[in-house]
């Protein structure tokens, strides 16, 4: 391969998830999921209609075709395929995804499919209390079996659980259905169950669809030390181990990092490791690693006698309102004076994606794919299009950094922008937009849901066409 170019078969793509884009909540036999509750927030749209991909998929995939996308990363909604989470399969749900796959095939677009993107069927939450109960792992594996059997002939890249790291660190997304305290106490148990569910899905995929690839999805956030003071370097390592390496080691190597388990001692219950668990985790060998990248962090040392401070997210998109966490004896997070931030205080850092790619690839030596990368903004459509030059700038710089990582030897097989069409943000309704394609609605009103390609859509189309030659 000529290392100064993107590989010829590079998977240029874009991404959505079911609960954030589909809508059609009770259409076609789908039943409720925890996401249908966790997205109900005063002043914001919920997931009942969102971008209505469920009814617009043909039009949307035609736009994907015009974009020249080589891949489309989406998720299969568990409550659409097995509405109660276990037991009866819903033929209409299966049919819907076959129709989506038909459309993708028409345009020669390869599907990359996430098996769990936060939409746990509500029945499982009510019956078992959610992921903290091992019964949910069995139900998930049965769901995966259905997906592999039904779609394994057509889908050759599967991803297991979206961002177990971000879920464990910050909760939400229905994991705290029974209350934030319960989640805080059981988070390592839930994460252990995610890891077991992942491992069983990997093994099942290898057994049922041996020509497919399967792997985890991490939400990796590189951490820089605030200064070259060795204590700041240790602080950055502390938080990076807690939020990044701990999960990669568990999901990819079946190992628990002792320093991170020590950190959690007294803060929450330990993982409920049973006989055979670690062997199972170690036996499940992933074929690829999917990475979602948005931002980097900065940490400095935090003396033991300081007071602990919880992270406070900037929910409303009012710049400067983010509250940085402080963990005495471990780290204090702080802003990066070298970087610009979005309205939601997410640092814009193209070099960070290169740091991440080199770190992950050279540690695990598996093909990597970027399944999410993008920038959010408040946007309005007035007239012809949306002039999102900042998004073009963001993707151009991040792709250029990816190209450098490829030149440095990283086996990066693809890049998906987050998102294809505007959709519901995980925490901030519809006004926090990431799309290459504007969807005409607001948090308050559904409007006509018209699709309007933004300026970034046309830029990405040209970039795909010339194979990233201008990057």
Contacts with ligand BGP by CB under 6 A lie at 17, 20, 162-163, 166, 219, 292, 372, 376, 418, 425-428, 432
Nearer to ligand BGP, 187 or 403 (CB): 187
Q: How far is the CB of 377 from ligand BGP (least distance, A)?
A: 11
Nearer to ligand BGP, 128 or 177 (CB): 177
On whether the CB atoms of residues 75 and 117 are closer than 8 A, the answer is yes
Q: How far is the CB of 466 from ligand BGP (least distance, A)?
A: 28
Nearer to ligand BGP, 166 or 250 (CB): 166
Q: How far is the CB of 162 from ligand BGP (least distance, A)?
A: 5
Q: How far is the CB of 423 from ligand BGP (least distance, A)?
A: 8
Nearer to ligand BGP, 166 or 406 (CB): 166
Q: Which residue is at the shortest CB distance from ligand BGP?
A: 425
Nearer to ligand BGP, 162 or 191 (CB): 162
Catalytic positions are 163, 372
Q: How far is the CB of 156 from ligand BGP (least distance, A)?
A: 22
Nearer to ligand BGP, 204 or 217 (CB): 217
Contacts by 182-187 with C-beta closer than 8 Å and gap 24+? 182/132, 184/268, 185/268, 185/269, 186/132, 186/268, 186/269, 187/268
Q: How far is the CB of 88 from ligand BGP (least distance, A)?
A: 28
Nearer to ligand BGP, 86 or 372 (CB): 372
């Amino acid at each position: 391969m000529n290392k100064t170019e993107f590989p010829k078969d590079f998977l240029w793509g874009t991404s959505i998830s079911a609960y954030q884009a589909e809508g059609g909540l009770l259409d076609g036999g789908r039943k409720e999921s925890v996401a249908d509750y966790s997205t109900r927030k005063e002043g914001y749209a919920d997931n009942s209609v969102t971008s209505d991909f469920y009814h617009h998929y043909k039009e949307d995939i035609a736009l994907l075709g015009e974009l020249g996308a080589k891949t489309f990363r989406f998720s299969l909604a568990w409550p659409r395929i097995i509405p109660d989470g276990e037991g009866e399969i819903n033929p209409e749900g299966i049919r819907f995804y076959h129709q989506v796959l038909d459309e993708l095939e028409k345009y020669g677009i390869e599907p990359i499919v996430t098996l769990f993107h936060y939409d746990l069927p509500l029945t499982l939450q009510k019956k078992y209390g959610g992921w903290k109960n091992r019964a949910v792992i069995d139900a998930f594996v049965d769901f995966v079996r259905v997906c592999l059997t039904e779609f394994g002939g057509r889908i050759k890249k599967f991803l297991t659980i979206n961002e177990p790291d971000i879920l464990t660190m910050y909760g939400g997304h229905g994991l705290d259905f029974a209350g934030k305290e319960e989640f805080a106490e059981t988070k390592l148990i839930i994460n252990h169950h995610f890891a077991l569910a992942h491992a069983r899905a990997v093994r099942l995929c290898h057994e049922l669809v041996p020509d497919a690839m399967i792997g985890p999805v991490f939400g990796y956030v590189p951490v820089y030390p605030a200064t070259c003071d060795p204590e700041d370097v240790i602080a950055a390592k502390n938080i990076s181990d807690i939020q990044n390496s701990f999960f990669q080691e568990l999901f990819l190597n079946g190992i628990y990092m002792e320093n991170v388990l020590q950190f959690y001692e007294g803060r929450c219950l330990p993982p409920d490791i049973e006989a055979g668990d670690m062997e199972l985790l170690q036996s499940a060998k992933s074929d690829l690693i999917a990475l979602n990248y948005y931002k980097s962090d900065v940490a400095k040392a935090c003396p033991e006698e300081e007071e602990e401070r919880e992270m406070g997210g900037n929910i409303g998109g009012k710049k400067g309102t983010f509250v940085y966490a402080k963990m005495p004896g471990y780290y204090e997070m702080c802003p990066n004076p070298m970087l610009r931030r979005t309205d939601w205080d997410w640092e814009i850092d193209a070099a960070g994606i290169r740091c991440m790619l080199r770190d992950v690839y050279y540690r695990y030596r598996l093909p990597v794919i970027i399944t999410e990368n993008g920038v959010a903004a408040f946007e309005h459509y007035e007239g012809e299009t949306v002039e999102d030059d900042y998004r073009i700038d963001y993707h151009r710089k991040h792709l250029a950094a990816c190209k450098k990582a490829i030149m440095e030897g990283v086996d990066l097989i693809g890049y998906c922008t987050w998102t294809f069409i505007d959709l519901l943000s995980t925490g901030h309704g519809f006004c926090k937009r990431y799309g290459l394609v504007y969807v005409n609605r607001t948090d308050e009103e559904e409007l006509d849901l018209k699709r309007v390609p933004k300026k970034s859509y046309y830029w990405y189309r040209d970039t795909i066409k010339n194979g990233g030659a201008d990057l």
